[in-house]
Copies of this chain bind each other. A is one copy, B any other.
Amino acid sequence: MDSRNTSYARFVTEQPHVVIIGGGFAGLSAAKALKRAPVRITLIDKRNHHLFQPLLYQVATAGLAGVDIAQPIRRILRRQQNVTVLLEEVEAVDPEKHELALADGNRIAYDYAIIATGVSHFYFGHPEWERHAPGLKTLEDALEIRRRVLIAYERAEAETDPLRRAEWLTFAVIGGGPTGAETAGALAEIARRAMAGDFRHFDPGHARILLLEGADRVLLSYPEALSEKARQQLETLGVEVLLGARVKAIDERGLTIEGPAGTADERLEARTIIWAAGIAASALGASLGAPTDRAGRVEVDPSLAIPQCRETFVVGDLAHIEQDGDLVPGVAPAAIQQGQHAATNILRLMAGKESAPFRYKNRGSMATIGRKSAVAVVGKLELSGLFAWLAWLTIHIFFLIGFRNRFVVLFEWAWSYLTYQRSARLILEEAGEASPSES
């Protein structure tokens, strides 16, 4: 047991120590599920906040402020006295020794571990693309994308050459999954609506929004009919949807795509590129010594534990688990169910029972396309249009943590619905970046 827990340990030396790594949906739901359990919990995250990732694209597109969708983890768990929250980075987990190593050099022993550090971006073997095409996983990512989008309009206003201005007014989103489709839809609305009237040297409505997808339809995990509906909704908003478009190169001024077999490469000039394609599992997964899939996700057993240690669980996006032949998807409901399940299995093991196998209950999925349309699948029901959008809105606001956030997000939505305005249009300087105020 590490020294920092000594004072606390005086009262509870007999209780097992559960370490949860990651304060996302999976980690937080595990901690909450152990609320009344006779355990000491240490929740470790390298960030101080839980993030409501499904709305992150709204921060990137200036619709919401970061504070509207994030909450300090220790605030969420303040009343749960059996949890200590630590802002630290975990470098490795050693399931043999039941011990983990922190980036600051300290080590923490555990009886049970739940690892839920999620995924980040994968650039298909081209890490150099990241500079030109940031992804969207953290609040910092979202603020950086917002900065780039807003700066692009500013540069267009200062540019006199029409071709170069057009480059600044071209926005390419790579990846036609829910994040890519939602981001492209919001970018189109900014161009057509929120920016209207703000510039003197061009019409923001002429901005081009490209959505590039390598497969032959967007929202690949949805039924085909809904993919088609989503494409139509995107095009109605003014998004150019390019299917079968595989990215070959990305640089500061644009990208090159390989069209469907037989077609020539195509060059697209776009100063703002957003990456919503590949994912790579958190590096912590590899430290476990358990088998991983191609994306680096840890292949857990049916109990969600790693094969060599039944007390070490991996949950959420970092876990690879199949059900009826399909991978359980990396979505918030699956992460929440897995976190709860790992907690239940810890209680079973503490009671001398065997772990129980995990089973994902798919209650449906939905993606929003712009300001008043969406697509949703609920069981056998396929929905699209305004009704799906209202369902999307209700569910997303309901699952936001904290009454204040729900209220403020609802207000922001109503406000932008009525005024077409996006309130978070602030450009913040970033150190080391050449922003106009530093050049």
Instruction: Give CA–CA (A376, B415) in the complex, Å.
Output: 34
Mask: chain A, 63-89; 1 = CB below 8 Å from B; 0 = not:
001111010101100110000111111
The residue from B72, B157, B423 contacting A67, defined by CB atoms under 8 A apart: B423
Instruction: Report chain B residues within 8 Å CB of A408.
Output: 408, 411
Check: A282 CB closer than 8 A to any chain B CB: no
Instruction: Report chain B residues within 8 Å CB of A143.
Output: 428
Instruction: Give CA–CA (A408, B412) in the complex, Å.
Output: 9
Check: A200 CB closer than 8 A to any chain B CB: yes
Instruction: Report chain B residues within 8 Å CB of A421.
Output: 75, 404
Instruction: Report chain B residues within 8 Å CB of A65.
Output: 65-68
Instruction: Give CA–CA (A7, B199) in the complex, Å.
Output: 13
Instruction: Give CA–CA (A47, B68) in the complex, Å.
Output: 23
Would you list which residues of chain A between 1 and 59 have a CB under 8 Å from chain B? Answer: 3-4, 6-8, 46-49
Check: A349 CB closer than 8 A to any chain B CB: no
Bin chain A's interface residue count.
35 or more
Closest Cβ of chain B: how far from A260's Cβ, in Å? 40
Check: A252 CB closer than 8 A to any chain B CB: no
Instruction: Report chain B residues within 8 Å CB of A66.
Output: 65, 426, 428
Of chain B, the residue at the smallest CB distance from A429 is B140
Residues A197 and B88 in contact, CB atoms below 8 Å apart: no
Check: A127 CB closer than 8 A to any chain B CB: no
Check: A378 CB closer than 8 A to any chain B CB: no
Residues B437 and A47 in contact, CB atoms below 8 Å apart: yes
Would you list which residues of chain A between 406 and 435 have a CB under 8 Å from chain B? Answer: 407-408, 411, 415, 421, 423-432
Residues A158 and B79 in contact, CB atoms below 8 Å apart: no
The number of times this chain is found in the oligomer is 2
Residues A160 and B426 in contact, CB atoms below 8 Å apart: no
Check: A325 CB closer than 8 A to any chain B CB: no
Mask: chain A, 390-406; 1 = CB below 8 Å from B; 0 = not:
00000000000000100
Residues A87 and B426 in contact, CB atoms below 8 Å apart: no
Check: A273 CB closer than 8 A to any chain B CB: no
Residues B426 and A70 in contact, CB atoms below 8 Å apart: yes
Given A79-B197, A104-B439, A154-B87, answer yes or no on A48-B426 (Cβ-Cβ < 8 Å). Answer: yes
Given A74-B199, A75-B198, A84-B200, answer yes or no on A67-B427 (Cβ-Cβ < 8 Å). Answer: no
Residues B8 and A201 in contact, CB atoms below 8 Å apart: yes
Given A48-B150, A411-B407, A411-B408, answer yes or no on A7-B201 (Cβ-Cβ < 8 Å). Answer: yes
Residues B425 and A75 in contact, CB atoms below 8 Å apart: yes
Given A4-B158, A48-B150, A437-B47, answer yes or no on A67-B432 (Cβ-Cβ < 8 Å). Answer: no
Closest Cβ of chain B: how far from A141's Cβ, in Å? 11
Residues B439 and A49 in contact, CB atoms below 8 Å apart: no
Instruction: Give CA–CA (A438, B4) in the complex, Å.
Output: 21
Instruction: Give CA–CA (A408, B407) in the complex, Å.
Output: 10
Closest Cβ of chain B: how far from A149's Cβ, in Å? 12
Mask: chain A, 120-142; 1 = CB below 8 Å from B; 0 = not:
00000000000000000001100
Residues A46 and B200 in contact, CB atoms below 8 Å apart: no
Instruction: Report chain B residues within 8 Å CB of A78.
Output: 197-198
Of chain B, the residue at the smallest CB distance from A2 is B160
Of chain B, the residue at the smallest CB distance from A407 is B411
Instruction: Report chain B residues within 8 Å CB of A72.
Output: 198, 425-426
Instruction: Give CA–CA (A8, B160) in the complex, Å.
Output: 12
Instruction: Report chain B residues within 8 Å CB of A428.
Output: 66, 139-140, 143
Closest Cβ of chain B: how far from A1's Cβ, in Å? 13
Residues B426 and A154 in contact, CB atoms below 8 Å apart: no
8 example contacts (A-B, Cβ-Cβ < 8 A) are as follows A3-B160, A65-B65, A65-B67, A78-B198, A86-B158, A87-B157, A89-B436, A104-B158
Interface residues of A (CB under 8 A from B): 3-4, 6-8, 46-49, 65-68, 70, 72, 74-75, 78-79, 84-89, 103-104, 139-140, 143, 150-151, 154, 157-158, 160, 197-201, 404, 407-408, 411, 415, 421, 423-432, 436-439
**Contacts beyond the supplied A8-B201, A46-B436, A47-B427: 6 A-B pairs with Cβ under 8 Å:** A65-B66, A78-B197, A103-B439, A408-B408, A408-B411, A411-B411
